[in-house]
């Protein structure tokens, strides 16, 4: 399984329009392959949308996109609203849940850590050992390793009912030994975004 994360930077003031146009097209696009999630940024880099597409492999991805375009199902006509478009492919780690319809938000935190080469494999056993305790504080949407695009990145996405739950969860990290300790070198870059779901996102 691979996940395509498509991140679009929008012209200021165009978010509602873009959400409307994607919403009009999404049912048709889902007849080819189902979207995994659709979010927009609330805290962090603003005027961004992130849509996630699960595929069996790259062949499946390419055939789905070709079919959707040939049938006129996708993409929405929003090109004039885009400042930048980026796509990356991610592989789920062993403890990552399947991306499926769930009502676990509506606040989602996406954290992306860039490691020196060869270090991500060293953190995964420690994460796997501690992940069940961490999930008692808030739901894990998924955890992934970058495969195509900028490599050596580890992404994990967490759901919260509100930002207060996030604050209270983080206060308890020391009690459960989080983040897990390992022999890996520390990340050379750490990023996070707070996201909200569109009304047509399967994960809300």
Measured torsion, CA atoms of residues 21, 163, 165, 5, in degrees rounded to the nearest 10: 40
Rounded to whole angstroms, how far apart are CA atoms 72 and 179? 46
Distance CA 20, CA 15 (A): 9
Find the mean pLDDT for residues 1-7: 97
Q: What is the mean pLDDT of residues 57-80?
A: 97
Residue 197 pLDDT class (50, 70, 90 cuts): very high
Would you state the pLDDT for residue 89? 97
Domain 2-197 in this protein, CATH class: alpha beta
pLDDT in the model for residue 150: 84
Contact 76, 21 (CB under 8 A): yes
d(CA 137, CA 117): 31
Domain boundaries, the chain: 2-197
Q: What is the model's pLDDT at position 58?
A: 96
Mean pLDDT of the chain: 97
118-139 tens-digit pLDDT? 999 999 999 999 999 999 999 9
**31 CB-near residues (< 8 Å, 6+ apart):** 73
Nearest Cα to 6, choosing from 48, 50, 38, 40? 50
- Per-residue model confidence (pLDDT) at position 106: 98
Query: According to the model, what pLDDT value does residue 140 have?
Result: 98
Q: Give me the percent of the chain exceeding a pLDDT of 70.
A: 100
């Amino acid at each position: 399984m691979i996940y395509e994360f498509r991140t679009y930077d929008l012209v200021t003031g165009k978010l509602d329009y873009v959400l409307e146009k994607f919403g009009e097209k999404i049912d048709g696009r889902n007849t080819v392959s189902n979207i995994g999630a659709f979010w927009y940024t609330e805290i962090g880099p603003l005027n961004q949308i992130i849509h996630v597409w699960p595929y069996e492999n790259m062949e499946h991805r390419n055939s789905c996109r070709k079919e959707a375009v040939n049938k006129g199902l996708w993409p929405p006509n929003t090109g004039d609203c885009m400042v930048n478009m980026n796509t990356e492919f991610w592989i789920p780690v062993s403890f990552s849940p399947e991306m499926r319809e769930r009502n676990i938000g509506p606040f989602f935190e996406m954290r992306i850590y860039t490691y020196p080469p060869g270090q991500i494999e060293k953190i995964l056993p420690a994460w796997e050992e501690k992940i069940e305790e961490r999930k008692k504080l808030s739901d894990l949407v998924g955890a992934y390793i970058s495969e195509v695009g900028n490599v050596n990145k580890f992404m994990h996405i967490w759901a919260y009912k509100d930002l207060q739950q996030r604050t209270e969860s983080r206060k308890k990290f020391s009690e459960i030994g989080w983040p897990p300790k390992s022999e890996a070198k520390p990340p050379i870059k750490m990023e996070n975004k707070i996201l909200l779901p569109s009304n047509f996102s399967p994960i809300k």
